[in-house]
């Protein structure tokens, strides 16, 4: 199979910025040092409105966030925030995949067949949207509906960062598969998804599909936030030419990549969360 070239980045209000910025900057440099590969990136979301890293409803929203259990005093600073502009919506992308008459080459590659789906974590994965009549729905409901529909079309892998694995687990696609997640959120994530083979100590995990698995692709998961850079460098080493390439990318970024092996203990776990004896 040829190396993956089309990356699909799924976002929602309240994504963790470094969850996606770290992996994306590594991939940006990869696209420069591998000019022979036709890399494309699609940022995809529920709508085409700018998506904030803070849990801020879009201007068209007729709902508010339930922040009581997640933020001090149920409030959040909305004046220090970053937005990303999506290229396509979940529905537009699925329409392009499912309609054989659609020209998937839209001039920018945004509707190209997906090789890798990248799912960041963040506070938005655990928030609810409250409508004026009091009804509550998950902030990532549209993403949870999208993932199982796009997964059969993914050629190579799903990569999750931080609590992105919590979102993926809620679709059932991680059932009986090895995975890791944000260490400080570990108990909450396990409580919602007890059928996953969680590895709380791991910096990153690569789960190879078994015959009974619903997703017939590799799933790469990382621990919290900065660990997304580690799983991305490991993914690149696996698919694009070995450790030396990833070491060069880490050097260019001046990132102290510790090259922790797959499934092995994260030194941060040992430092902050391992049981004291």
**Using one digit for the tens of pLDDT, what is the confidence trace for 127-162?**
999 999 999 999 999 999 999 999 999 999 999 999
Strand, coil or helix: 171: coil
pLDDT at 273: 87
pLDDT at 277: 64
86-129 pLDDT, tens per residue?
Answer: 999 999 999 999 886 665 556 677 899 999 999 999 999 999 99
pLDDT at 106: 62
Average pLDDT of the chain is: 94
Of 231, 233, 236, 230, which is closest to residue 219 (Cα–Cα)?
231
Q: Which residue has the tokens 């892998």?
A: 157
Delimit the domains of the chain by residue range: 6-54+84-125+139-272
Report DSSP state, residue 166.
Answer: H
Measured in residues, the chain has a length of: 277
Specify the pTM.
0.95
Of 190, 148, 202, which is closest to residue 166 (Cα–Cα)?
190
pLDDT at 82: 96
Angle between helices 243-252 and 227-240 (to 10 degrees): 140
Looking at domain 6-54+84-125+139-272, its CATH class is alpha beta
Mean pLDDT value of segment 63-87? 90
163-221 pLDDT, tens per residue?
Answer: 999 999 999 999 999 999 999 999 999 999 999 999 989 999 999 999 999 999 999 99
Q: Residue 223: exposed, middle, or buried by beta-carbon count in 10 A (0-12, 13-18, 19+)?
A: buried
- 91 Cβ neighbours under 8 A, 6+ residues apart: none
**At 43, is the pLDDT very low, low, confident or very high (cuts 50, 70, 90)?**
very high
**How far apart (Å, rounded) are the C-alpha atoms in residues 45 and 15?**
11
Enter the tokens of residue 119: 């799912």
Neighbours of 245 (CB within 10 A): 17
């Amino acid at each position: 199979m040829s190396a993956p070239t089309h990356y699909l980045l799924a976002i929602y209000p309240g994504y963790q910025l470094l969850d996606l910025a770290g992996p994306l900057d590594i991939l940006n440099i990869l696209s420069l040092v591998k000019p022979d590969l036709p890399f494309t990136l699609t940022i995809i979301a529920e709508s085409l409105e700018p998506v904030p890293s803070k849990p801020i409803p879009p201007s068209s929203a007729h709902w508010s966030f339930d922040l009581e259990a997640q933020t001090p005093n149920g409030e959040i600073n909305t004046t220090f925030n970053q937005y990303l502009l999506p290229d396509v919506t979940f529905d537009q992308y699925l329409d392009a995949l499912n309609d054989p008459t659609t020209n998937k080459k839209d001039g920018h590659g945004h509707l190209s067949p997906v090789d890798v789906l990248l799912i960041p974590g963040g506070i938005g994965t655990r928030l609810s949207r409250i409508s004026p009549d009091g009804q509550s729905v998950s902030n990532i409901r549209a993403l949870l509906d999208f993932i199982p529909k796009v997964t059969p079309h993914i050629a190579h892998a799903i990569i999750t960062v931080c609590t992105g694995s919590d979102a993926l687990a809620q679709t059932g696609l991680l059932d009986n598969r090895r995975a890791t997640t944000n260490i400080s959120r570990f108990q909450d994530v396990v409580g919602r998804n007890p059928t996953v083979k969680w590895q709380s100590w791991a910096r990153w995990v690569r789960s190879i599909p078994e015959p009974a698995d619903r997703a017939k692709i590799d799933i790469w998961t990382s621990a919290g936030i900065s660990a997304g850079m580690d799983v991305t460098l490991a993914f690149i080493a696996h698919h694009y030419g070995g450790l030396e390439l990833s070491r060069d990318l880490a050097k260019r970024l001046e990132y102290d990549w510790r090259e922790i092996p797959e499934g092995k203990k994260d030194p941060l776990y040992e430092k902050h969360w391992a049981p004291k004896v």
